[in-house]
Amino acid sequence: MLRLHKGYVRRGEQLITFPDIELKRGEIVGVSGPSGVGKSTLAGMLAGIIPMQAELHSLPRRARGKPNPVQWLIQQGEFAFNPRLTLKTALDESWQCDDYLPLLKDYGLDASWLTRRPNQLSGGQLQRFNLIRALVPTTQFLICDEVTAHLDTITQAEFWQHLLATANKRNLGVLVISHDPYLLEAICDHIVTW
């Protein structure tokens, strides 16, 4: 389980306090709040990148030399990839094999695009590659930080349809950070409002 109780962090002069969060495997939890309140900071803490300060917290243990069981997906897929590497190199590096290949078809991605670099794909295509890269077998939780905010409505719907199907199949816990109340209402088991 991912749990944060009475969490806080100091960023420069600012003290950010977090709402209590509990995310179990198989659950979809939404987080909404005004701009600048600390949502991406929260994502970074839960992904173990920003040091966690809280009265009570738990994160899944990360095995030495293995990918983080909590994978953080950011809004701009183009910043998630090294622009000089092909998608194949990026995915091979995360997966340490090419077992992700069958997922490409499920996610409507053409295997020939693997030879492309990130700037040769659309935002929606790149975000789906980013998701597949995060779906290494050790993943237990996904933190989705405004991941479809810049996509058109149809591409957004397709992205969430794929992600929720995979989450259900693999019993993943998903934290959905979004400014879009309609999206949160449609897909989340419950919503934490800041």
Binding residues (CB under 6 A) for ligand ATP: these are 11-12, 14, 16, 33, 35-41
CB 45 to ligand ATP: min, Å: 10
Instruction: For the CB of residue 139, give the shortest distance to ligand ATP in the complex, in Å.
Output: 22
Nearer to ligand ATP, 16 or 85 (CB): 16
Rounded to a whole number of angstroms, the minimum distance from the CB of residue 50 to ligand ATP is 9
Smallest gap, in angstroms, from Cβ of residue 176 to ligand ATP?
13
Nearer to ligand ATP, 74 or 132 (CB): 74
Which residue, 70 or 132, is less far from ligand ATP as judged by CB? 70
Q: In this structure, what are the phi and psi dihedrals at residue 24, rounded to the nearest 5 degrees?
A: -95, 160
Q: How far is the CB of 188 from ligand ATP (least distance, A)?
A: 17
Which is nearer to ligand ATP, 14 or 120 (by Cβ)? 14
Cβ proximity to ligand ATP: between 16 and 101 the closer is 16
The secondary structure of the chain, three-state, reads CEEEECCEEEECCEEEECCCEEECCCCEEEEECCCCCCHHHHHHHHCCCCCCCCCEEECCCCCCCCCCCEEEECCCHHHHCCCCCCHHHHHHHHHCCCCCHHHHHHCCCCHHHHHCCHHHCCHHHHHHHHHHHHCCCCCCEEEEECCCCCCCHHHHHHHHHHHHHHHHHHCCEEEEECCCHHHHHHHCCEEEEC
